[in-house]
A = this chain, B = another copy of it.
């Protein structure tokens, strides 16, 4: 474990070698396939002899392992290497309005244990925080992973979060010092925090469709609306960590009052919450829906509406398409601004590809300039547990292991 815990600020021979070893581990973690010595040396800019030496030292410490010979066209077959998954672990935590997810990952970011609490209700209270802490400690002990092998805990939480100071502004803001230092004390582990949308973006950047692209947008479309921006291959969190408040952009689409206190925020028209509100409004205005045959009006969830749209319910289709068109126009603006190579729709709407994609694309053509639009792909996320995976990835990212 010492390898990853050294102070990396001092520049001396020892830390330089640790940094190079971390680079090798990170490279292996990022790669889907095992890599050979020549591959690794080329990527981390080391000569083959030194690269070999470092790799052998990493093998000796059980941090990486050999993974058989690689088939090549000609020449001697090289041995290939991958991270030894059971050397160290990290914990990913996602705190949402109505649920908590905790997963434990190994060095290769394979999920080795998961737990979710769907009866949780997020409140800005010590009791609510206590429940989260209890859930994390319970999950860790259930997993059977030795705490001394856990590198840290990454937490993704709804609302505004200052990544650098570790403060959470919307929830758990009653503490004397930062949320991270409190959690760190209580869990006896390093804790890193970010907002749920950034965490989703990190997952897509490290494991998803944004992997091979330097500029991408990841939309977090669930009950609320947020956006993670990736520019020059790096996640944008902004000066204090508040970047990505896509849902509070005002594009003249609406005049509804938003939870933030302002009027006309995009999230009041584009979000799971907005979809439910609009559904209720339309029904009250006399529209009919097949959904009402199986559910009471005030228990209709936005995911029901998506499903109904998929099954042909006219009202649901019109609402979902309307929402798709509006977010498409907003995304067209973003294309003009950032010229991304790919836009990924993540969050709970990621599975609504069929009922959303055409209306989003149609909205995009209304605002995006043709040149950047032509070069931008629209994709729906395929990482099921993206958020919690991204939360775990914060730890490895901070330790320069991914």
Contacts and interface: CB of A to CB of B under 8 A. Distances in A.
Contacts of A246: 336-337
Given A333-B250, A337-B245, A372-B245, A215 B229 contact: no
Contacts of A213: 239
B242 A232 contact: no
Nearest to A244: B337
A371 B231 contact: no
A54 interface: no
A212 to B, nearest CB: 11
Q: How many copies does the complex hold?
A: 2
A221 interface: no
Interface string A226-247: 0101011010111111111110
Contact of A160 (B215, B250, B371): B371
A290 interface: no
A198 to B, nearest CB: 11
B231 A234 contact: yes
A239 B251 contact: no
Given A250-B367, A339-B243, A238 B372 contact: yes
Given A243-B337, A337-B245, A340-B238, A329 B250 contact: yes
A98 B214 CA distance: 35
Contacts of A229: 231, 337-338
Interface centre among A229, A241, A244, A249 (most CB of B within 10 A): A249
A227 B371 contact: no
A339 B252 contact: no
A262 B366 contact: yes
A264 to B, nearest CB: 9
Nearest to A16: B45
Interface string A196-233: 00000000000000000111000000000001010110
A320 to B, nearest CB: 22
A260 interface: yes
Contacts of A332: 250
A369 B333 contact: no
A11 B45 contact: yes
Interface in A70-103: none
A235 to B, nearest CB: 8
Nearest to A46: B11
Interface of A: 11, 45, 160, 169, 213-215, 227, 229, 231-232, 234, 236-246, 248-253, 260, 262, 329, 332-333, 336-341, 366-367, 369, 371-372, 375-376
28 contacts: A160-B369, A213-B239, A214-B239, A215-B236, A215-B238, A215-B243, A232-B232, A232-B234, A232-B236, A238-B372, A239-B340, A239-B341, A239-B375, A240-B371, A241-B339, A242-B371, A243-B338, A245-B337, A245-B372, A246-B337, A248-B369, A249-B333, A250-B332, A250-B367, A251-B333, A252-B253, A262-B366, A262-B367
Q: Which 6 A-B pairs have the closest CB atoms?
A: A252-B252, A238-B339, A245-B336, A239-B341, A242-B339, A243-B339
